[in-house]
Structure formats: C-alpha cells, structure tokens
Amino acid sequence: MENSWQSPKARKLVWGAFAFLVIVALLGQVAERSRKPPTLPQLADSVPQEARERLAQAWPKMLKACPGLDRYYDALTFKGVEMGFPELNGVYANLVFSVPMEKSSVPVDYMVFGHTCFFGVTDDGKGLIIPKRGCQALCLNRVTPEAGPVLHLPLN
C-alpha cells in the first residue's frame, strides 16, 4: 500500500495550503507597511501656540521613537495636552492618552490597561519623557523590566 503523502493529489494539496499561507503572510506584511501613520490628535484651543508647534514637529519623531504608540494608537483615547513640570530650560508638553480597561489590541504583558499615559516632549523638542513602566512598554512595544521610573528617549 502506498503512503498517502506520496500520492500526487496529497502533495498538491499540501503545496497549495503552504502557498496559501505564504501569500496570506506576505499580504499581511504589505498591509502593515502601507498603513499610514496616525496624525497628531486635535489639540484644544487652550494649548499655547509654542506647545502646538513643538508637538506638531515632534509627533513624527515620537512615532518613530515609540513604535507601540504608532501600532496601538487606535486602541488609545486621546485626553488632551497637559503642560508638565518645569525643566531647567522650560516646561514640557504632555500628550495624554488613556488605555482602555477592557481587553484591546494592547498586549496584556504590558500591564497598562486602565492607565493614563503621559508622553512628554521636552522644551527644546529633542527628548521624550515617559513615566510608568506600563506606558514605557506600550511606547517601546515590548516589556521593559530594565527601565527606570522615567524613560527618556531622544527625538531624532
């Protein structure tokens, strides 16, 4: 009796299923790369003009520095802009997002459900400050056990 995997019909079926899976994987990659990055959320009229300009210039750099912010943006709720604590050189502007309490596309490992995340752009627009480990994990799109209480990222 011949092995059923050696029959031409079975081989065609296996190769067809393999080709289908490869095509689906490639289409997923193309769809992810062709997705447009999210635009800067609508800022309230009360946000100072200088902060608006700084945030607008920093936004594409933030998405580059924070791949998770780009990836999970649709799962977050924009809460507004809060001016942060004074630095040596001035005040930083926080983009504030809340993460839903219920399950979403954000990985459970990040332990950020129900949190409010602050993404602070420094006064010179060259740095990003992120407190809370869960928000840091969300930003970096990976769990960050080595991160401290505040993550400082350069915005290049």
Per-residue pLDDT of 1-24, as tens digits, reads: 456 667 777 778 777 777 778 777
The tens digit of pLDDT for each residue in 43-92 reads 999 988 988 999 999 999 999 999 999 999 999 999 999 987 665 555 67
Write out the DSSP string of the chain: ---GGGSHHHHHHHHHHHHHHHHHHHHHHHHHHHSPPPPPPPPPTTS-HHHHHHHHHHHHHHHHH-HHHHHTGGGSEEEEEEEEEE-SS-EEEEEEEE--SS--SS-GGG--TT-EEEEEEPTTSSEEEEESHHHHHHHHTS--TT--SEEEEE--
pTM over 0.85: no
Percentage of the chain surpassing pLDDT 90? 51
